Amino acid sequence: MRIFRYSRWDGTQTPITDDLSVSKLVDSLSDDILDGLGPDMAFEHMLRRGVPGQFGGIQSMMERLRRARAQQQEQGRLDGWLEGLRDRLDRIVDTERAQLARQEDDTARLNESFLDSLPSSVAGSISELKEYEFASSDAREMFQDLLEQIRQEMLAAYGDKMVQGMKNMSPEELAAMKDMLADLNHMLEQRRDGTGPTQEEFDTFMQQHGQFFPENPRTLDDCATCSRRCRGTSSQASTATSRSACRKASKRSSGLPSSMTWSAR
């Protein structure tokens, strides 16, 4: 892919490079001139659209700027969501530390060391805490609520994304999607109950259903981040429409698992 750099004119630039000849510029202008545009208008038109295969025009530059701005806005929404998760994790850990501070046994000290060694990433901390036995019932309940929120948002996000193509799906394709949703729901229930899934189980899931996940997530935690990114691109109106379509599609495919919950947040 060609990369074009735009900068203020300072007199050192070469207006016509070796790979852009005057004849190519004339060819680009000729169609507009033959259509009745004057030379000045034709040249302005060329600047806006660029010369295919040579340089991008102003329209191309503006489109790239719009995409860059949209990416920054989306990254800001994702960062805000991750920051919210981090705040909740910090409160969970602080609540657990307060309980451990009231205990004087060696197990409490070991648990404090475990909390000190938690990964800095949100996904890593959640993964480690899934295997941790909380001393504080409040902290344990807060953590389970956090896992449930992530589970609901993942289900809603993938529902919004996949429903766009569900109306024209064949019965076989709907059956494959139903199987994928059942397996995904099973893994999320494993996470909620603290019984899994293992990395091997997740890899098997991706081998069977990878066509539904173009982002190619490597872990269930990656799925949470990908799904949140998808949610950032959906409006409330489209979410409501997606939920309705999902219900219709589920009836066509003989029903989704009874434990599956579609939710918009």
* 68/46 Cα distance (integer angstroms): 24
Please report the pLDDT score of residue 259 as a whole number. 38
Please report the pLDDT score of residue 41 as a whole number. 77
* 17/20 Cα distance (integer angstroms): 5
User: CA 170 → CA 95, 113, 120, 166, 173, distances in Å?
Assistant: 50, 54, 45, 9, 5
User: CA 16 → CA 32, 36, 168, 248, distances in Å?
Assistant: 20, 26, 51, 59
Query: DSSP string spanning 20-55?
Result: S-HHHHHHHHHHHHHTT--HHHHHHHHHHHEETTTE
Please report the pLDDT score of residue 16 as a whole number. 54
Pick from 18, 55, 51: nearest CA to 32: 51
pLDDT per residue as tens digits for the range 219-240: 877 765 655 555 444 444 344 4
This prediction has a pTM of: 0.41
Amino acid at 264: A
* 37/181 Cα distance (integer angstroms): 58
Low-confidence stretches of the chain (pLDDT < 50) are 231-265
Pick from 6, 106, 115: nearest CA to 58: 6
pLDDT per residue as tens digits for the range 46-58: 777 776 655 666 7
Distance in angstroms between the alpha carbons of the first and the last residue of the chain = 39
Please report the pLDDT score of residue 261 as a whole number. 37
